[in-house]
Structure formats: structure tokens, C-alpha cells
Structure 1
């Protein structure tokens, strides 16, 4: 008995000693680690790594930037059954324990002793929150002890629902999806509230091992894990037996669903991304900013499509350059067509396709298109494919499919609808032969009053070339420059009735090897011409004479007044023909100044920025067009609220105040040009559409549009710049490395069709918008041959003038000159 007593005392002392040592070690660890633990309050301030999202003005997703997909969600937005699925999988006693589950830790300790390695951590959801938000993922005892201490603190300071919400927003669930809302989108393309029970259980099975139990990578293991969780939910009375039976028989429906971009606007998205990163640094990708742009989704998509279609149309006019690849017969026999076309990327809306068969007798080609499969290419989609030789020379028109393609060719195609089938006949998609255009282009559309960018396309395909031609390409504007020259002339006393002689002119220049003999694009000369007609017919000789009279330096100074960059403008008479250089955006901005009646314009893209909590951190200022007391208005507004400096650079376009700066509430836009001169120019530029080089735009059936075509020497740059009083849109087409587009290519044939396709949609349903007639304007009937007042009963045309510049009433001297008795000095001054 004494031996048993002594043994019992020994074990008692050993137990007490072990317990004391454990308490001392634990207390020591606590005292050692406690000062280094972060305060739990930080959980309330932690920003989940949420991507940057960019939306159109009408809330359509344009782009998402960031490594982690996450969409924070409140616990009230998560169905109870989904919460129970995670509890069944991870921590069934979550609402019962105090942050640490002793049973779970004991189980983990037993596994460690029996196997010699850590099998499971015994972690509760609270412990996982502590680890995910504050600690590393190293599997060490020190980290585990920190995890326990933090879990106890978290439980003391936060309620259970808040802890569970933090957990469900933070956990990694595979495929870059962080948090339950992102996972529901990635795997099922649904919000959490619309998931089925089987889908909820599938998501709940992912935190344990996102790779091993991923339904996309390991569907068999994912199914086993899902059904185990469903069984746990049944055993815990979270679901009924009938619900369990139905859910375990449900098939796997998970798939990979990338974020659905709703607007094809990569160039615009990149401009927005660059601006946000410039202001917020790398936090732009993780802090959950939502950026709303000024672009309208319909207009933006139309701009993208119109530019692509216009470039493809140009390309077809110049012939087929051949297949992008050729597969030999041996490879065709050994490799499936699906694998072969994977080597060729999609470009914009063009899909690579392998020619697998040609039937000249039925005038059709059989192809295998990437992502589509077998398809039919009718010969009538190939008749344009005359062999390309040069921009001005093509081969003969093909008569059968084999004149264009051969088996094994890889080409680009447009995917059409399925061809109608009949009884016993297969139904296949039809495709149309296409090719990636070599020419590039840009389209910019601005709100003429505010400068808001309504649409912008910087090239055929952003993935093919990230060079944004809309804001980066410095090109010669050609005749689209002439409206600024004519506006300056109108401001200096000339009128639409002023006559210049369209006749040969020669300039000797010591810097040139030969004399300069400028010509009109037609190569002809037309004699005395009114300025109105000279503008709408784009007469080069008249523009040169006009610049000579107005003065080169005076014109450059006027361009500065209009805030048009002059750094790349020549100080010689070639300036009148648009030989300087402007980006499409700079030209569009100058055009908007004309469109709105002469006020300054500062293009901008970002309308609003919100943080992850939905609070607005930046709002674009209101634009005010100012005629009088502008200094007082600007002084009362926030500093730096006036228009941009001369020119609008890419950096200025992307510039937005940082979160610490206060955005100006108003932007004061001063008048830059006399409204009467602008009004007269509007009427002259409407004649470009009605009577001149822009007649194709009559197809829009509108009376309020005006514009100007532009084509540079050798057709290297082609333009159309057009507007009504509310919208100004500019299009450009050319090669990135300037080269001739072809003898028959002009602004009216390349750029104008793109402009028409866009403006047809942009102006649809809008009432006519013309500039109101200002005071001090008169209409007078003139003789179109002399530009003077028409005599009563004489054929004449009405012209618009400023009151002080109107032709003087007829005198007896005018009558003598009309009868051939005068000197004619007034006209002769303009002829030589």
C-alpha cells in the first residue's frame, strides 16, 4: 500500500511539475510574444487587396486590373446555407468556442505524436483570420502560438459574425479568386445568392487545399470533398436528407469565368490605369478603387467597331497579302487542326483558321477555326482577295477558291452565323476571309462644351500594339488644319466673299533645291474663288495666298491663342497646307473649340474615383464657359481650375488629383475666338458637307453637321474632323511609319466613312444642334463672281457677314466697273 502511495505521490508531483513548467513556459512565451502582436483594431482598418475596376459612364465594366480577384461582401449578403457549408467544412463549433477549439488542438497533437509530422493545425475560423490577416503561413510552433494568442484577442474584441465576414472575404479559393464573392463569379459566373446547394458545398471545400480540391484541376477529388461536406451538413442538421440526396447527385458545373468585360475599350482602359497608378502608386491595384470614365459604352463600342471596320475596308481595297502560315501535309496528318491553330493568336475580332479542304466546283472552302471548329467559307467572301502587289497595284480578280487559298493555309476569318441546314445536311458556321490591316487609325470624340471624352480608339488592336495613336501619334493634319487658318482670316477682316485667285504660284527658296510649285489635289487651277468655296473645295493655292496675306507669325500667334501646340509647326507658307504636326487628340481639341463657339476645351477622361468603401475621392469639376468677369469667376473657384496650357499632352489627359488633394469644383473655360467669326466658319464648314469634299456625310441626313477632310502629300495621312454644336469627332488613318496609302486614297475615302459609322450612332435620336446666331451678324445677297453686293434683279447668293465687314452698298463707281469702265483694282489685288 505504501508503495502505491509513494507511486501516486510521485506521479502527482511530476504532474504538478509538468503543469508548472507548462504554465511558466506558456507565460514566458506570452510575455515574450505579446508586445510584438498587432492590435486587433487593425482588422477594422485593413484594406483587402481588391482590384482596380474601370467603368463607363453608364456603369459598364471596361477593365479590371490587379493580381487578386476580390469583391468584398457583407455577411448579410451571404445566404445562411452558404455560411453553414463553410462551418461544416472548417469549424462546426465556431459559435460555441472562444476562438480556440481545445478538441481540435488535442486532435492535432495526437496526430503529431503518432505520425511524427504536422497533419492538421487544429485551426478554428478565428485562428485562420488571425493567420490570414496578420501572420505568415510558416508551419512552426511559434507561429501557431501567435495564432492562438491573436485568436483569443480577436474573440474578445469582435463579434462572431464580423469574424466570419472577415474570413469569407479573405480566404484564397483558387484561380486568383480571393473571397467567396470572387469565387462564385470565377467558378459559376453567379452572385453568391444564386448558387445551388451543391455549388455552395463545392466552394466550401476549397479553403482546405485550393489546388487539390479545385473542380477545374481535380474534378474527382473536388467531387469527393463536396459530397463529404454535404454529408457533414446533413449530420449537423443544416440540411435535410432529401436536400442531401439531391445535391450529391448534382453534376459538377464549375467552369472558368473571367471577369466579363462589357465594353471593348482597351486603349481607354490603359489611359485610366496609367492615371490611377500615377496618383496612387501600386496601391491602385489592391486598394479597391472604382473609376468611372466619361465614355459612353455604346459610343465607345461603336468607335472601336467603326475604326476596325474602316481599316479592314481600306485593307481589302488593296488586296490579299496571303496566308499567315502554311502547314505541310505530314503535320496535317499527324496533328489535330485544333492544336495547329492554337499557335496563332486571335487579333481583335479576327480568328485564325486552318484550310482543310477546297471545293472549286461548289465554290466553297472548308476550314477549322480556333475555338469554333469546322466551318465553311463561301467564295463570295473571298472575291476581294486579289493578290496584293503594291498599294497601287493588285493581281487579277479570283475566279475560284483555289486562286486564293490552298489546303494547309492558315488565315484570319470573321465568324458569321451558322449556315442553314436541311434534312440530312450538317449545319456549320460560315466564316469570311479577312486579314489584319497594315494601316492604323484613331478616333476621338469629345463633348464640345465640357471636353469629356465620349469615345476613343487608339488603333486596330491594343493587344497587337499598345501604341495609342489617338494621343501619341504626331502626324501632319493636312487640310484639316485649314479651318484654323480661315478662322484667323475672319478675325482679321476677311469674309467668306473675299476673292482669291486660284492660279499657279511659284516660290523660290534658297533652302530648297528647286522652286516650290504648290498645286491643288486635282492638279487643276480654277481662277478667282471666294473663300467659302475655297474652303469647302479645299483649294490649296487659295490657302497659301491667304496665309501670305494674314502673315505666318500672326497665324502662329493665333494658334497659341487657341491653345494649339506650335512646337512642331513650320514658319513658312507650307503651314497653310497642314505640314505641321499634331496628335489626333490635339486636332480634336482644336476642333471642339470651333464646335462650341470659340471657348477653351480641356479634354478629360476620368469622371469620378471611389474608394473601396464607395466614398468619392475625386470628382471631375463642373465646366463653365465664360465670356465676362472670368478673372473674378476663376478667383472664386478652386485654384488651378482654368483650362489646360497650350496643347493637351497624354500626361495632362491622365492627370487627376491625388486622394490628398481637393478636386476643383469648377473649371473656367474662357473664350478664345470671336463668336461671330466662329459662327461664320460654321456655315462655311457645313458647306464642306453639303457641297464639298465631305458630301458622303449627307448620308446621315442631318443639317447640323460640319467638318473638313484632310489628305497630306502622297496620301500618307488622311483625316476627317467633323462636329455639330455639341460633339466634335476626329478620325485619322495612316501607317505607323509614314508611307503612301495609295493614289486613290483620301480623307473622304478612308477617314470619313469611319466618322460616319460612328456619328450615325452617336447622334441617333438627338435633335439638330447648331450654334445660335450671335448679335452683329447680317445676311447680304452678293454677286458670286465679284463678292460684292448683287444689284437688284441680278443673280446672286446670300452670304453671312459681321456687320462691320459687310460689303458696302453699290455706288456709281461699282456700276462703271460692272460695265467694264472701272479699274478693277479691288479684284486685281487678289489675283496676283
Structure 2
């Protein structure tokens, strides 16, 4: 008995000693580690890494930038059954324990002792929150002890629902998906509240091992894990046996659903990304900013599509450069075609295809593409494919498919949107022969009164070339420069009726090896010509004589007044022909000044920026078009934030000011008048004639009388342009090679750039009423003799012309012999002979 008592006492002392040592060690660990633990309050301030998302002004996704896909969600937005699925999988006693599950830790310890290695960590959801937000993933005892201490702190300071919400927004669930909301979209392309029970259980199985239990990578293991979780949910009373039995028989429905852009706008997406990084640094990719742009999704998609179509149309006119590759019979016989085609990249809508057969009798070729398989390519889709020789020369028109293709050729094709109903097509969509254009282009469309960019594309393919020609390419504008020259003339007393002699002219220049003999594009000369006709017929000689009269430096100074960059403008008469350099954006901005009636314009792309919580951080300045007392208006705008310019009028008045206490109200930008409204109005009239009777006649297809514009083609057709507008929208298109080279003898602004402009504006203006610049005071209509530019006598052939009142030609006396001068109309032409 005494032996048993002594043994019991010994065991008791050993237990107490062990317990004391454990308490001392535990206290020592706590005292040692506690100072290094982060405060739990940081959890409330932590910004989950959420990607940058870029949207159009009508809320269509343009792009997403960031390594991690995440869409933070509140616990109220998550169905209860989904929460229970995660608890069944990870921590069934979550709402019962105090942050640490003693049973789980004991189980993990027994596994360690029995196997000699860590089998499971015994972590609760709270411990996983501590690890995911604050600690590394190293499997060490020190890290585990830190995890336990943090979990205890978290449980003391946060409620259970908040802890569960943090967990479900942080966990990695595979395929770059972080958080339950992102995973729901990636695997099932729908929000969490629309998932089925089987799908919820599948997602709940991912945290344990996102790769091993991934339904895309390991569907069998994922199915086993899912069904185990469903069984746990049944055993825990979360679901009924019937619901369990139905869910375990459900097939795997997970597919990879990348966040697809809804608008093809890579160039504007890159512009937005660049500006966001400039504003916020690397945090732009992780802090969940939402950027809304000024571009309209329909107009932007149209701009992207019509530019590509226009460049492809040019490329087809100049012939087929041959296949991009060729496979011999051995390669075709010994390999899977789907593997061979992987060596050739897709370029936007152009798909690589292997020619598997050529049938001249049926006038078709058969081709294999990765997505469609084998389908046919009718000969009528290849008839454009004359052999390319030079930009000015192609081979004869092909008579049969074998003139173009042979078996084994690899070519690019377009795939029709709908299956062909012909029997030979086997209900598959047909292919059409295509090739990647070498020529490039740009399109910019700006809202004339505010500068908001409504559409922009900087090339055929952003994936092929990130060089944004819309804002980076400095090219000669050619005759699209002439409207600025003519506006300067109208500001300096010239009129649409001013006569200039379109006759040969020669200039000697010491810097040139030979004398400069400029010509019109037609190579002909037309004699005395009114400025109106000279502009819409794009007469080069008249422009040169006009610049000589105005003065080169005076004209450069006027360009600066219009805020058109002059750093790359020549100080010689070639300036009149557009030999300076401007980017398409700079030209479009200058055009918008003309379009809006002469006010300054500052193009901008970002409409607003919101943080991850939806709070507006930035809103683009509102604009006010100012005619008078602009300094005073600017001072008022700077001094107050309560001016409402929603209903903006051309002239500011104090009556427009209204109280507004919105702290996020955007700034207001005062846009000053840069050109006389009467001069601009007259120029509008002259440029509308470019459409009605001049080089832009193709635009009559739009059936609108409110559009105006100017074509442009430089020497040797290296750059071709069309710049056009109505009073509300200004759009510029450019086509050329990145390394300046001739486009071909028959290529002009009217044949390359104008069709692109027309196709875009047909959509951009659809359903909009005519937009004319209002006629200002001080304009008069006068009948003139079109030959002399002077007032017409009764009975003479005459046309109506518009003038500023002070520049109108004087009334003729009855005895006037129709000679002499008068305000530029009928001026002496003798000095213009040479």
C-alpha cells in the first residue's frame, strides 16, 4: 500500500514538474515571441491584393492588370450553405472554439509522433487567417506557435463572422484566383450566390491543396475531395441525405473562365495602365483601383474593327505575299495537325491554317484550323490574291486555287461567323484567305467641346506591336494641315472669295541641289482660283502663295496660338503643304478646336478613379468654354468648389453658380477661345465643301450635311490622312508604314484613310441629330461672281458666299469695269505669275 502511495506521489510530482516546465516553456515562448507579433488592428487596414480594372464609360470591362484575381466580398453576400461547406472541410467547430482547437492540435501531435513527420497542422480557420495575413508558410514549430498566439489575439478582438469573411477573401484557390468570389468566376463564370451545392463543395475542397484538388488539373482527386466534403456536410446536419445523394452524382462542371475583356481596346488600356502607375506606383496593380475611361464601348470596338478592316483592305489591293510556312508530306503524315499549328501564332482575328488539299475542279481548298478542324476555303475568297511584286505591281489575277496555294502551305484565314449551309461545308464555317498587313494606322475620336477621347486605336495589333501610333508616331500631315493655314488667312483679312493664281512657281534654295518646283497632286495648273475652291480641291500652289502672303513666322505664331506644336515645323514655304510633323493625336486635337468653334481643347482619357471600396479618388475636370473675362472666371473657379457646370453654355455667367457640398466634385477647367468664331464658322463652310464637291466626296455616303473634313497625302504617298468632324465630334485617321515608305501610286488619303473614317463615323453618328456650329453675329451672305470673287452684277452668273462684315467686298458702282481690287477679291494677279 505504501509502495502504491509512493508511486502515486512520484507520478503526481512528475506530472506537476512536467506541467510546470510546460508552463514555464510556454510562458517563455510567449514572452519571447509576443513583442514581435503584429497588432490585430492591422487586419482591419490590410488591403487585399486586388487587380486594377479598366472600364469604358458605359461600364464594359476593357482590361484587368495584376497578378492576383480577386473580388472582395462581404459575408452577407455569401450563402450560408457555402460557409458551411468551408467549415465542414476546414474547421467544423469554428463557432465553438476560441481560435485554437485543442482536439485538432492533439490529433496533429499524435500524427507527428506516430509517423515522425508533420501530417496536418491542426489549424483552425482563425489560425489560417493569422498565417495568411501575417506569417510565412514555413512548417516550423516557431511559426506554429506564432500562429496560435495570433489566433488567440484575433479571436479576442474580432467577431467570428469578420474572421470568416477575412478568410474567404484571402485564401488561394488555384488558377490565380484569390478569394471565394474570384474562384466562383474563374471556375464557374458566375457569382457565389448562383453556385449549386456540388459546385460549392468543389470550391471548399481547394484550400487544402489548390493544385492536387483542382477540378481542371486533377478532376478525379477533386471529385473524391468534393464528395468527402458533401458527406461531412450531411453528417454535420448542414444538408439533408437527399441533397447529399443528388450532389455526389453531379458531374464536374468547372471550366477555366478568364476575365475576358468586353471591348477590344488594348491601346487605350495600356494608356490607362501607364497613367495609373504614374499616379500610384506599383500599388496600382494590387490596391483594387477601378478606372473608368471616357471611351464608349460601341465606338471603341468599331474603331478597332474598322481600322483593322481598312488596313487589310489596303493589303489585299497590293497582292498576296505567299504562305507564312510550309509543311512537307512527312510532317503532315507523322504529326497531329493541331500540334503543328501551334508553331504559328494567332494574330487578332486572323487564324493560322494548314492547307490539307487543293481542288481546282470544285474551286476550293480544304484547310485545318485548331478550333474549327478541317473546313473549306472557297476560291471566291481568294481571288484577291494576286502575287505581290512591289507596292505598285502585282501578278495576274488567279484562275484557280492552285495558282495561289498548295498542300502543306500554312496561311492566315478569317473564319466566318456562321456555318455554311452548303453540303460541301459539313455545317462548319468557311475560311477566307487573309494575311497580316504590313501597313499600319491609327484612329482618334474626340468629343469636341470637352476633349474626352471617345475612341482610340494605335495600330493593327497591340500584341504584335505596343507602339501606339495615335500618340507616338510623328508624321507629316500633308494637306490635313491646310485648314490651319486657311484659318490663319481668314483671321488676317482673307475671304473664301479671295483669288489666287494657280500657276507654276519656282523657288531657288541654296540648301537644295535643284530649284523647287511644287505641283498640285494632279500635275496640272488651273489659273485664278478662289480660296474656297482651292481648299476643297486641295490646290498646293494656292497654299504656297497664301503662306508667302501671310508670312511664315506669322503663321507659326498663329499655330502656337492654336496650341499646335511647332517644334517640328519647317520655317519655309513647304510648311503650307504639311511638311512638318504632328502625331495623330496632336492633329485630332487641333481639329477639335476647329470643330467646337475655336475653343481650346485638352484631350483626356480617364473619366474617374475609384478605390477598392468604391470611393471616388479622382474625377476628370469639367469644362467651361470661355469667351470673355477668362482670368476672372478662372479665379472664381479656383476660389470655390460649388460651381455647377452640368448645363454648360459657351459663356460663363455668375447666374450659373449653384451650391454643391459634394467633396468629391471635380475641378473645372476653363477653356479659352483661341480663334475668332466668325473665322471658324466660315472655315466650317469651306470644309463642308470638301465633302460635298471636293476630295472627301466619298463621305457623302453617310447622308449627312453637317460633316466637314480634309484629306491629306504626303509626297510619294508615304502618309495618308483624313481629318473630319461635325460640331460635336472630331475624328482623325492615318495610314502608313512605320518606316516611312511609299504606299503605292494609287493610294491617297481618300482611298486609304477616308474609308476607315466613314465606317467609324457611320456608327459614331448613328441616331444623332445634325450638329452645326451656330452662326455667329457679324456674318453676311453676298452674291459674287465666281470668276472674280467680286460682288455680282444683276444678271451675271453668281454664287452666294459668306464673309465677315468688315471683309465683305464693296458694292460695285454701275460704271465699274469689273477690274481692280477689293479686300482680296479680284486682287492683282500679275505679281503671282512667278
TM-score (norm 1): 0.96
> 1:664: Cα distance to partner?
5.7
- 1:570 aligned residue: 570
- 1:691 aligned residue: 693
Q: Distance in 1 between matches of 2:303 and 2:466?
A: 17
Change (3 A) 1:665 1:699: same
Q: Distance in 2 between matches of 1:287 and 1:410?
A: 45
Change (3 A) 1:492 1:253: same
> 1:629: Cα distance to partner?
1.2
Q: Which deviates the most, 105-114 or 34-43? A: 34-43
Deviation sequence 1:740-796 (CA, Å, 0-9, x none): 000000000000000000000000000000000000000000000000000012110
Matched, 1:348 2:348: yes
Q: Distance in 1 between matches of 2:417 and 2:153?
A: 62
Gaps of 5+ in 2: 642-662, 821-825
Deviation sequence 1:254-282 (CA, Å, 0-9, x none): 11110021000000000000000011000
Aligned with 1:683: secondary structure?
A: helix
- 2:453 aligned residue: 453
Change (3 A) 1:639 1:277: farther
> 1:424: Cα distance to partner?
10
Contact kept in structure 2, 1:374 and 1:429, CA below 8 Å? no
Matched, 1:627 2:622: no
Q: Which deviates the most, 183-192 or 367-376? A: 367-376
Deviation sequence 1:131-154 (CA, Å, 0-9, x none): 000111111111111111111111
- 2:785 aligned residue: 783
Q: Distance in 2 between matches of 1:455 and 1:593?
A: 18
> 1:409: Cα distance to partner?
0.6
- 2:122 aligned residue: 122
Change (3 A) 1:816 1:136: closer
Aligned with 1:500: secondary structure?
A: strand
- 1:658 aligned residue: none
Deviation sequence 1:374-421 (CA, Å, 0-9, x none): 111011000000000000000010111111011111111111045444
Change (3 A) 1:241 1:2: same
- 2:366 aligned residue: 366
Matched, 1:87 2:50: no
Gaps of 5+ in 1: 642-660, 819-823
Deviation sequence 1:67-124 (CA, Å, 0-9, x none): 0000001111111111111010000000111111000000000001111111100000
Matched, 1:743 2:745: yes
- 1:235 aligned residue: 235
1:197-596 alignment to 2 at 5 Å? Answer: 197-421=197-421, 426-596=426-596
> 1:429: Cα distance to partner?
1.8
> 1:425: Cα distance to partner?
7.7
- 2:812 aligned residue: 810
Q: Distance in 2 between matches of 1:537 and 1:425?
A: 50
Matched, 1:794 2:796: yes
Contact kept in structure 2, 1:499 and 1:830, CA below 8 Å? no
Q: Distance in 1 between matches of 2:137 and 2:392?
A: 66
How many residues were matched structurally?
Answer: 808
Aligned with 1:637: secondary structure?
A: helix
> 1:130: Cα distance to partner?
0.5
Aligned with 1:19: secondary structure?
A: helix
Q: Distance in 1 between matches of 2:503 and 2:421?
A: 65
Contact kept in structure 2, 1:599 and 1:669, CA below 8 Å? yes
Q: Distance in 1 between matches of 2:207 and 2:621?
A: 45
- Where do 4+ consecutive residues of structure 1 move more than 6 Å? 422-425
Change (3 A) 1:508 1:369: same
Q: Distance in 1 between matches of 2:333 and 2:768?
A: 58
- 1:171 aligned residue: 171
Deviation sequence 1:460-481 (CA, Å, 0-9, x none): 0000000000000000000000
Q: Distance in 2 between matches of 1:186 and 1:411?
A: 33
Q: Distance in 2 between matches of 1:684 and 1:78?
A: 63
Change (3 A) 1:19 1:47: same
Aligned with 1:98: secondary structure?
A: coil
Q: Distance in 1 between matches of 2:214 and 2:141?
A: 29
Change (3 A) 1:557 1:664: farther
Contact kept in structure 1, 2:440 and 2:460, CA below 8 Å? yes
Aligned with 1:804: secondary structure?
A: helix
Contact kept in structure 2, 1:638 and 1:664, CA below 8 Å? no
Q: Distance in 2 between matches of 1:87 and 1:753?
A: 62
Q: Distance in 1 between matches of 2:546 and 2:579?
A: 16
Q: Distance in 1 between matches of 2:181 and 2:418?
A: 36
> 1:164: Cα distance to partner?
0.4
Deviation sequence 1:794-831 (CA, Å, 0-9, x none): 1100000000000000025633649xxxxx86444555
Q: Distance in 2 between matches of 1:436 and 1:245?
A: 55
Q: Distance in 2 between matches of 1:214 and 1:479?
A: 61
Q: Distance in 1 between matches of 2:581 and 2:789?
A: 34
Q: Distance in 1 between matches of 2:491 and 2:815?
A: 28
Contact kept in structure 2, 1:637 and 1:664, CA below 8 Å? no
Aligned with 1:262: secondary structure?
A: coil
Q: Distance in 2 between matches of 1:79 and 1:662?
A: 35
Q: Distance in 2 between matches of 1:240 and 1:781?
A: 92
Contact kept in structure 1, 2:618 and 2:666, CA below 8 Å? no
- 1:774 aligned residue: 776
Deviation sequence 1:569-628 (CA, Å, 0-9, x none): 000000000000000000000000000000000000000000001000000010111001
Q: Distance in 2 between matches of 1:458 and 1:787?
A: 43
Aligned with 1:748: secondary structure?
A: coil
Q: Distance in 1 between matches of 2:334 and 2:177?
A: 38
Which of 708, 711, 731 is matched with 2:710 structurally?
Answer: 708
- 2:669 aligned residue: 667
Aligned with 1:465: secondary structure?
A: coil
Deviation sequence 1:459-509 (CA, Å, 0-9, x none): 000000000000000000000000000000000000000000000000001
Q: Distance in 2 between matches of 1:633 and 1:431?
A: 61
- 2:59 aligned residue: 59
Deviation sequence 1:161-219 (CA, Å, 0-9, x none): 11100000000000100000100111111111111111111000000000110111111
Aligned with 2:816: secondary structure?
A: helix
TM-score (norm 2): 0.95
> 1:348: Cα distance to partner?
1.2
Q: Distance in 1 between matches of 2:289 and 2:538?
A: 48
> 1:639: Cα distance to partner?
8.9
Q: Distance in 2 between matches of 1:640 and 1:214?
A: 57
Q: Distance in 2 between matches of 1:816 and 1:32?
A: 108
Contact kept in structure 2, 1:500 and 1:831, CA below 8 Å? no
Aligned residues: CA RMSD: 1.5
- 1:4 aligned residue: 4
Aligned with 1:224: secondary structure?
A: helix
Contact kept in structure 2, 1:50 and 1:286, CA below 8 Å? yes
Deviation sequence 1:510-531 (CA, Å, 0-9, x none): 1110000000000000000000
Contact kept in structure 2, 1:640 and 1:664, CA below 8 Å? no
> 1:663: Cα distance to partner?
8.6
Contact kept in structure 1, 2:481 and 2:577, CA below 8 Å? yes
Q: Distance in 2 between matches of 1:226 and 1:409?
A: 48
Q: Distance in 2 between matches of 1:583 and 1:445?
A: 14
Deviation sequence 1:3-58 (CA, Å, 0-9, x none): 11111111100100000011111111111111111111111110000000000000
